[in-house]
Structures are given as structure tokens and as C-alpha cells.
Amino acid sequence: MPRLFAGNFSFEQGLLPGHQPSRTITRFEAELACIWLAVARDGDEVLCGGVISEEEQSRLAELCSVRPKFLSPDQLDQSRATELVPWGWTPGIRQLADRLRISIVAPEQETIRTVNSRVFGYELCRELNVRIPGESVVRSLPELMPAIQNAHAESGGWIIKPNQGQAGRGQLRGETPFLAEQQLATILHRLSKQEAVLVEPKLNRILEIGVQWRIHQGGDFELDGITQLLTDDRGRYLGTAIHPGEVHGIEVEAMNECLRIQSRAIERIAALGYFGPVGIDAMLFRDGESERIRPIQDINARWTMGRIGWEWGQKWGPGKWLHSEMCPAVTPSLEQLPLALSPAELDGSPVRCRTWWVS
């Protein structure tokens, strides 16, 4: 039975009341629609807010060994799907399912909002005794400066993350125990919209991993795989690496402890009634002369880029799934030529957010 994949990649913003995606976000989501080729089957449908040329569709079909039907929003009345697969469930996605008369098989919306919030992640880390020193939740202006100064005292730097945010976007960073005027205005706006922000010390990162979990209806869960997150200095997502092993430079004992703690977190998430894909990010960081692992850095109860990268790895083995506006640089060997997994143009205009596979 055909599935309809809907890439609402601005999922976190879609959780907020009255969210209407901007033209920029709509274009961004259209450019990323082809990432569903990692999991789609022949006969499935992919919602895409732009036209991919027949030539590019044929190229992608030959490369990925699958040819779903791409539907624009205006063509949704042609859909024959019996299942809707969104990036994450939001009120807007539920309205789409109702419009298409597709049964909704998803957790309660309030449960989804809760388990994707950083406040929930913070409370869960405190419950599991893995909260990092200097980390705190701020709900009001009087709490803000003490929290920043506490984080700064721990590491000489701080990061402020929105309660609902993704892939490093929306973060504020500083190296002094003070805020710039514009930063303060941004935080006040977020507190009015999301009720809280998370303040944490800036850690001396060595590497980051994304652990891919799956929770079934009824509460059973399984570990699908481990990927390495590729990010820039501000924590923004650049790609995913899939290695031959699953430790990625982390000592086996530390990795096992990380997975043990994450499995307890997954049990708690399942107990709240959530089911579906979950990605939990972790970080290996340097603390003085030693290395430590932060087992829970972010919880994403939805599809994730790490999960899509892992799915590509199931098709092609070890490699890197990269996001770039230009063809990524690789060493000049035939085995490492990058494969373009997205079209060069959409609606006749150049695609900026392209994805590539490098073996």
C-alpha cells in the first residue's frame, strides 16, 4: 500500500501555535524532499513543493533503485496513499491527513510536543543523573544572567538553546558572562513564545554521534544504529558519517554506558505514550586532561538527518551523507566521487541545499 512522505523539516516551528512557514522555509523543505529516496519504495509518493525535471527524476531513480511519484501540493487530490509519513507530527500535518482521509497513527500531539522539548530532555538528564555542571533551564529574565554566569564559570563559554529547536539553528553563543543587546531581545522573544530556554556551558567537543532508536506501539523499542554527526563550530548540521563499526572513536566501555543511559531514556519516552523514530545525540568532549561522554545532548522524537544517513548506509555501506551548496571536495579516486542525491534545479531555479553521498 502506498505511503505519502511529507517533509515538514521545520517540524519544531510547526509545533508552535499559529505557525505559518515562510517562503524561504517552504523552498527549503521542497529542496530536501528527495532525502525520502533513502526509505521510499516503488509506488510511494513524496510531497514536493517544486517541479523536478523528468531527466533528474530518471537519474535519481537509476541511482537509488527506486522511483516514487513526486506530488506538488496542488496535486494532492491525485494521492492514493493509505499512510502518511511526516518528518514529525504537527497540528498542520494532522490537518493534511484529515484532508486526504488518511487514518492518523501517531502519538498524542501533546506527548510529541513534550518529548521534543529541551526542558523535558533537561529533566530527564537530571533524573538519570547525567546533567552536565552549569546546565540550567531559564523561564524568566531574573534567572537569565545567573544561569549565563554559572555556565561561563564552568567552561569560559555558554550556549543558549530554544526549548523547541533543531540542528543548531536558533542557538546563541558567547565567550563572556554578558549578553549583547540583540541577544537579550532574542531571548525575551523566545521566552514569550516557548516559555523557556536552555543554558549550558560550551564543551570542548571531540566528536558527536547520533543514536537511532525505534519505539513500537505498545512500548517495545530497538536500537537501529549509530552514526557520526558532522557539524560546524556553531553546531550546525553538515552531514552524517556511517562507519564500518559503531563506536566511532569512543571507547567501548564508554559507548556501552552511553547506550545503557539512552535506553533508560527511551523507556521513559515510551512510557509517556510516544512511538516512532527517535534520534538521541551524544558528545565526546575533553574535560581538562581527560575525555568524557555526554550521553544525552539532544532528543529528537521524529525522523532525523542521522536516521536518513543511516538508511543510506544500509543501501551502500560505509560513507558520508553530506549537505552542501557546492559539490563536496573529495580525494581524486573513482571510489570517492560524490553522488548527487538531489536535483541541481527545482522549478528551473538552482537548488541551494543539495545532498551528496561519498563512499
The 10s digit of each residue's pLDDT in 20-33 is 888 999 999 999 99
Please state, in angstroms and as integers, the Cα–Cα distance from residue 63 to each residue in 58, 59, 250, 308, 323, following that order. Answer: 9, 6, 33, 16, 18
- Do residues 159 and 222 share a domain? no
> In terms of pTM, does the model score above 0.85?
yes
Of the candidates 228, 247, 248, 249, the one whose C-alpha atom is nearest the C-alpha of residue 239 is 228
Instruction: Report if residue 318 sits inside a domain.
Output: no
Domain count within the chain: 3
Domain limits for position 182: 133-201
Whichever domain contains 143, its CATH number is 3.30.1490.20
C-alpha cell of residue 181: 543587546
Instruction: Report if residue 270 sits inside a domain.
Output: yes
- Do residues 195 and 235 share a domain? no
Instruction: Report if residue 216 sits inside a domain.
Output: yes
- Do residues 243 and 302 share a domain? yes
60-105 pLDDT, tens digit per residue, is 999 999 999 999 999 999 999 999 999 999 999 999 999 999 999 9
Instruction: Report if residue 121 sits inside a domain.
Output: no
- Do residues 210 and 300 share a domain? yes
Whichever domain contains 301, its CATH number is 3.30.470.20
Instruction: Report if residue 320 sits inside a domain.
Output: no
Whether residue 332 is predicted with pLDDT greater than 60 in this model: the reply is no
**Please, which residues have CB within 8 angstroms of residue 82's CB and are 6 or more apart in sequence?**
1, 2, 3, 102, 103
Please state the rounded mean pLDDT for residues 119-131. 97
- Do residues 173 and 209 share a domain? no
- Do residues 244 and 272 share a domain? yes
pLDDT at 335: 57
Confidence band for 43, pLDDT divided at 50, 70 and 90: very high
- Do residues 81 and 145 share a domain? no
Compute how many other C-beta atoms are within 10 angstroms of the C-beta atom of residue 316. 13
Residue 216 is classified by DSSP as -
pLDDT at 217: 95
- Structural contact between residues 320 and 308, judged by C-beta atoms closer than 8 angstroms: no
Question: If DSSP codes are grouped into helix, strand and coil, which group holds residue 335?
Answer: helix
pLDDT at 257: 95
251-274 pLDDT, tens digit per residue, is 889 999 999 999 999 999 999 999
**Cα three-residue angle 183-185-191, rounded to 5 degrees:** 100
Question: If DSSP codes are grouped into helix, strand and coil, which group holds residue 201?
Answer: strand
- Do residues 175 and 209 share a domain? no
Whether residue 232 is predicted with pLDDT greater than 70 in this model: the reply is yes
272-292 pLDDT, tens digit per residue, is 999 999 999 999 999 988 999
Query: Which of residues 201, 223, 250 is at a domain's end?
Result: 201
C-alpha cell of residue 279: 534520534
- Do residues 147 and 242 share a domain? no
pLDDT at 331: 58
Whether residue 334 is predicted with pLDDT greater than 70 in this model: the reply is no
Question: Look-up: residue for cell 496513499?
Answer: 81
Instruction: Report if residue 19 sits inside a domain.
Output: yes
- Do residues 225 and 168 share a domain? no
Whether residue 357 is predicted with pLDDT greater than 80 in this model: the reply is yes
- Do residues 208 and 149 share a domain? no
pLDDT at 129: 97
List of E strands, the chain: 3-6, 45-47, 69-71, 83-86, 136-138, 158-162, 172-174, 197-201, 204-215, 221-231, 237-242, 276-287, 290-300, 319-324, 339-340, 345-346, 349-350, 354-358
Least confident window among 40-49, 69-78, 224-233: 224-233
Instruction: Report if residue 65 sits inside a domain.
Output: yes
pLDDT at 234: 74
The number of CA neighbours under 13 Å toward the Cβ of 36 is: 29
Of the candidates 11, 84, 70, 83, the one whose C-alpha atom is nearest the C-alpha of residue 37 is 70
165-221 pLDDT, tens digit per residue, is 665 677 899 999 888 889 889 998 888 888 899 999 999 999 999 999 999 999 999
Query: Which of residues 262, 291, 307 is at a domain's end?
Result: 307
Instruction: Report if residue 327 sits inside a domain.
Output: no
- Do residues 241 and 263 share a domain? yes
